[in-house]
Amino acid sequence: MEPSDKTSGVDPVPVAMPPAAGEFPKVLLCLPWQKQTNPMTAFSVMNLVDRRRTAVMLDFGDAFVAHARNTCATQFLSTPCEWLLMVDDDMIVPFGQAKWFNAYTGFGLADKFAGINALERLLSHGKSLVGALYFGRHEFGAPMYCEGANVPTEADYARKAPYDLIKPTRWVATGCLLIHRTVFEDIEKKFPRLSRAQNRCGQWFSTSEHTAMDYIDQARATLGGVLDGESAYKVKCLMESASAEAKANSGLGAGEDVQFCIRAKEAGHQPYVDMGCLCGHVGSGVFGPSNTRRKR
């Protein structure tokens, strides 16, 4: 078992493996929860579990969610599982019972969508990185994917969901996210500084100016020779490139979900959002397309 990168005290619960692989791809249902959750979340997640094809792991007690996600991903890669389904502690996920889902979310969806099983639905697309659609957990909650969060007309479109389609996006949030193991492996190949080989735990979700450090190493190598006008100019160009790269792809204000998806895309894995797989987001109520709105 790989050591955790956490700074506080609860070790991850070992992975509970299924008794047999079954006919479906092996999936690790991963729960990077804090300390407690809503009963509706627990019940909906419980109903996703099928021991013929799913393993389950829980990591809790860390207030820094990026640590928990990295711990879960590290554990996942130590198993034979092919897919990781990450579900957060404030989600209500559809699990194949339309009446229950509509009753506890209040979304009033057609049975075709309220009766979706989130795991089966996300697997069916054959994409290496695809997440469910959900909204911020307040009155003005935005759709939790890049264009929905940043383009008002796209947010209006998302609030008319569900749609039976998936859309490519720059990032999709991690509340209910299906990830193939090659995503983590290819990020490590693309960004060795984030890898398990160079850290106590993989750093796929951490906010880090890792590319800036690559440029700094190049600058150090340039300055290792004779310092003249040409080498000084090369160093200046490297610093400008580092600044531009950091601003575009690894800003320290970005969330761990944004950073992860950007890295995945750079490593060859396009993120998608499933506009038909709707989840409830639990705050003071259960938020979704029908009870969030644009701030005027």
Q: State whether 36 and 181 are in the same domain.
A: yes
Residue 52 resides in a domain = yes
Q: 1 lies in a domain?
A: no
Rounded CA-CA distance 102/98 in Å is 6
Model confidence band, residue 158 (pLDDT cutoffs 50, 70, 90) = very high
Asked whether residue 147 falls in the same domain as residue 281, the answer is: yes
Same domain, 59 and 105: yes
Residue 220 belongs to domain spanning = 210-249
- Give me the number of domains the chain comprises: 2
Query: Starting from the edge strand earliest in sequence, which strands make up the sheet with 280-282, in order?
Result: 91-92, 280-282, 286-287
Entry field: residues in the chain: 296
Q: Domain check: are 87 and 152 in the same one?
A: yes
Mean pLDDT over 124-132 rounds to 97
Task: Please tell me whether residues 244 and 258 are part of one structural domain.
Answer: no
Give CA–CA dist 204/177, Å, rounded. Answer: 14
Q: Is residue 229 part of a domain?
A: yes
Residue 14 neighbours by CB under 8 Å, 6+ apart = 1, 57
Does residue 82 form part of some domain? yes
User: Tokens representing 98?
Assistant: 């339309």
Rounded to whole angstroms, how far apart are CA atoms 292 and 137? 9
The predicted pLDDT at position 18 comes to 62
Say if residue 115 is in the same domain as residue 224: no
When pLDDT is cut at 50, 70 and 90, the band that residue 60 belongs to is confident
Q: What is the mean pLDDT of residues 260-282?
A: 97
Structure-block tokens of residue 282: 């639990």
Classify residue 8: in a domain, yes or no.
Answer: no
The β-bridge relationship of strands 129-133 and 272-278 is parallel
Which one, of 181, 175, 233, 232, lies nearest residue 204 by Cα? Answer: 181
Record the tokens describing residue 228, joined without a space.
């003249």
Question: Which positions ≥6 away from 153 have C-beta within 8 Å?
Answer: none
Helix (H/G/I), strand (E/B), else coil: 266: helix
pLDDT at residue 12 tops 60: no
Under the phi-then-psi rule, with left for phi > 0, alpha for psi from -120 to 50, and beta for the rest, what region is 22? left
Question: Residue 56 corresponds to which tokens in the numbers above?
Answer: 């389950």
The percent of residues above 90 in pLDDT, for the chain, comes to 65
pLDDT tens digits for range 183-228:
999 999 999 999 999 988 999 998 876 665 565 555 566 666 666 6
Q: Could you report the per-residue pLDDT of 87-115, keeping only the tens digit for each?
A: 999 999 999 999 999 999 999 999 999 99
- pLDDT on residue 65: 86
Q: Determine the pLDDT at residue 295.
A: 84
The two structure tokens encoding residue 197: 């080989």
**Domain for residue 45, yes or no?**
yes
Of 296, 2, 287, 273, give the one whose Cα is nearest residue 139.
Answer: 287
